[in-house]
């Protein structure tokens, strides 16, 4: 950004400089004139025998930012004598032009937008209806204003505006992973050549792990879409722990969701549900609360499975470092009752959003207990998550009564009863 020095003509212009990008000629259709006519607060002229002086030009500033879902480009930075900050001239995609207040974090040619589903960044305007409340201090950068507000994370605790790259990386099928919406949404594709998968950058010892998924909107029999936690990300085998969501391809309804639990390499705990909605038409949230008391599987806000920590009676429980993984792959040998993948309909695409992670990072086995304490920061370890409340227990029982249709437990009957009763 070029800086031009004033040609000194008065003491006041000595050593002064101006940003060469700043303009001062307003657009005629974005200004209005107003006289200062000496009226009091009731509209009565109180300064007798005085006119309003020279008409002043006021820029029409878009404070409401109510132009929704249309991207705009920053064209110029302008000086406004009536503001204590510079202003931007925005050219929107539909041809309209507006002024907004300037921020020091953006530059000419940057794009901005106002919407309900956009990344959180300077100059984007996100509706407060999408936000939950928590006390923080937000400073309006570039303005001489400091505000105390009660706005935080938008969406759920797994922030849907977090970029994929912040917490995850692609592990295989790189050419079959597409990032959209400025990295906040990822599409995994499978065709005859390959599927795809991703993994969290670090491992965790406890947390509430959620993601939003939309399944392929066609007959995807034989295809498996998975979201899970595992201590064996490389598939080497051994005494591994795992908590699974697996969507078994089909041409529903009904659509099949399988859950599974591995502890100390002991699995055989598959349970299959028929989903009560169409997971191919929109995003739904799938989450796992995992602490030292229980692992709870949620579909949206409905608990569908509880696996208690009953190591005291000899039942293994996941307690190792777990990483988060998501994938789409060929499971036609078992996933869809023997139905083969119809490759003429490929590619099959699963969409993922919500890459914020609410978990305690695993540092070492010696310090693992730090992730089990109850605190505001580690809220999933609190009393609320030691078990289900009465409403949740009823929702769990209703979901299992109506939608659980296959239970592959091969462990002793007492463990099965513990899982069902919670």
Position 357 in a domain? yes
- Say yes or no: 209 and 275 in one domain: yes
User: Looking at 6-15, 68-77, 150-159, 373-382, which range is the least confident one?
Assistant: 150-159
With 90 as the cut, is the pLDDT of residue 130 above it?
A: no
**What is residue 279's three-state secondary structure?**
coil
Q: What is the arithmetic mean of pLDDT over 236-257?
A: 91
pLDDT by residue (tens digit) across 52-70? 566 677 788 888 888 888 8
Q: How many domains does the chain have?
A: 2
> CA 141 to CA 152: how far, in whole Å?
17
- Say yes or no: 109 and 232 in one domain: no
With 90 as the cut, is the pLDDT of residue 398 above it?
A: yes
Query: Rounded to the nearest 5°, which phi and psi values hold at 345?
Result: -95, 0
Confidence category of residue 1, pLDDT binned at 50, 70, 90: very low
| Mean pLDDT, all residues of the chain | 81
Position 364 in a domain? yes
Q: What is the arithmetic mean of pLDDT over 19-46?
A: 65
The encoded tokens of residue 66 equal 């109510």
Could you tell me if 307 and 295 are in contact, meaning their C-beta atoms sit under 8 angstroms apart?
A: yes
Report the CATH number that the domain containing residue 73 is assigned in CATH: 2.40.50.140
Position 140 in a domain? no
User: Looking at 183-197, 277-291, 401-415, which range is the least confident one?
Assistant: 401-415
The reply to whether the predicted model has a pTM over 0.85 is no
> CA 194 to CA 198: how far, in whole Å?
14
pLDDT by residue (tens digit) across 61-115? 888 888 888 888 888 888 777 777 788 888 888 888 898 888 766 777 778 888 8
Report the CATH number that the domain containing residue 244 is assigned in CATH: 2.60.120.200
Position 217 in a domain? yes
DSSP letter string, 114-176:
EESS----TT-EE-GGGB----EEEEETTTTEEEEE----BSSSS-TTS-HHHHEEEEE-GGG
- Say yes or no: 220 and 365 in one domain: yes
Q: What is the arithmetic mean of pLDDT over 30-56?
A: 65
The encoded tokens of residue 143 equal 């303005």
Q: What is the arithmetic mean of pLDDT over 272-279?
A: 96
With 70 as the cut, is the pLDDT of residue 337 above it?
A: yes
Could you tell me if 243 and 222 are in contact, meaning their C-beta atoms sit under 8 angstroms apart?
A: no
- Say yes or no: 260 and 341 in one domain: yes
- Say yes or no: 391 and 246 in one domain: yes
Confidence category of residue 150, pLDDT binned at 50, 70, 90: very low
> CA 164 to CA 352: how far, in whole Å?
9
Domain of 73? 17-37+49-117
pLDDT by residue (tens digit) across 203-238? 999 999 999 999 999 999 999 999 999 998 887 777
Position 144 in a domain? no
Please give the positions annotated as active site: 242, 246
- Say yes or no: 86 and 168 in one domain: no
């Amino acid at each position: 950004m070029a800086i031009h020095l004033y040609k000194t003509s008065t003491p006041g212009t000595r050593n002064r400089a101006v940003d060469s990008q700043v303009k001062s000629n307003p657009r005629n259709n974005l200004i209005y004139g107003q006289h200062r006519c000496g009226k009091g607060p009731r509209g009565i002229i109180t300064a007798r025998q005085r006119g309003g002086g020279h008409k002043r030009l006021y820029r029409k500033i878009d404070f409401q930012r109510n132009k929704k879902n249309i991207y705009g480009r920053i064209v110029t930075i302008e000086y406004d004598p009536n503001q204590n900050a510079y202003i931007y001239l925005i050219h929107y995609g539909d041809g309209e032009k507006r002024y907004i207040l300037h921020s020091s974090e953006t530059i000419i040619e940057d794009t901005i937008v106002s919407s309900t589903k956009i990344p959180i960044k300077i100059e984007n305007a996100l509706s407060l209806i999408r936000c939950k409340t928590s006390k923080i201090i937000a400073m309006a950068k570039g303005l001489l204003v400091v505000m105390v507000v009660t706005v935080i994370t938008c969406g759920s605790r797994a922030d849907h505006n977090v970029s994929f790259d912040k917490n995850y990386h692609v592990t295989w099928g790189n050419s079959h992973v597409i990032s959209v919406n400025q990295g906040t949404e990822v599409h995994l594709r499978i065709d005859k050549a390959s599927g795809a998968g991703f993994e969290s950058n670090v491992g965790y010892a406890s947390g509430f792990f959620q993601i939003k998924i939309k399944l392929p909107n066609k007959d995807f029999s034989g295809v498996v879409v998975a979201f899970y936690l595992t201590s064996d990300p490389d598939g080497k085998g051994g005494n591994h722990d795992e908590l699974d969501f697996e969507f078994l391809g089909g041409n529903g309804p009904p659509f099949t969701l399988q859950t599974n639990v591995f502890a100390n390499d002991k699995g055989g705990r598959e349970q299959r549900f028929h989903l009560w909605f169409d997971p191919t038409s929109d995003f739904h949230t799938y989450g796992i609360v995992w602490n030292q008391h229980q692992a709870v599987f949620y579909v949206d806000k409905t608990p569908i499975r509880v696996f208690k920590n009953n190591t005291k009676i000899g039942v293994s429980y996941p307690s190792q470092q777990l990483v988060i993984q998501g994938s789409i792959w060929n499971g036609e040998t078992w996933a869809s009752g023997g139905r083969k993948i119809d490759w003429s309909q490929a590619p099959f695409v699963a969409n993922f959003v919500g890459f914020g992670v609410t978990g305690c990072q695993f540092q070492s086995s010696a310090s693992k207990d730090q992730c089990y304490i109850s605190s505001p920061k580690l809220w999933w370890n609190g009393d609320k998550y030691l078990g289900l409340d009465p409403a949740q227990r009823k929702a769990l029982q209703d979901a299992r009564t109506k939608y659980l249709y296959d239970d592959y437990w091969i462990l002793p009957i007492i463990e099965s009863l513990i899982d069902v009763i919670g």
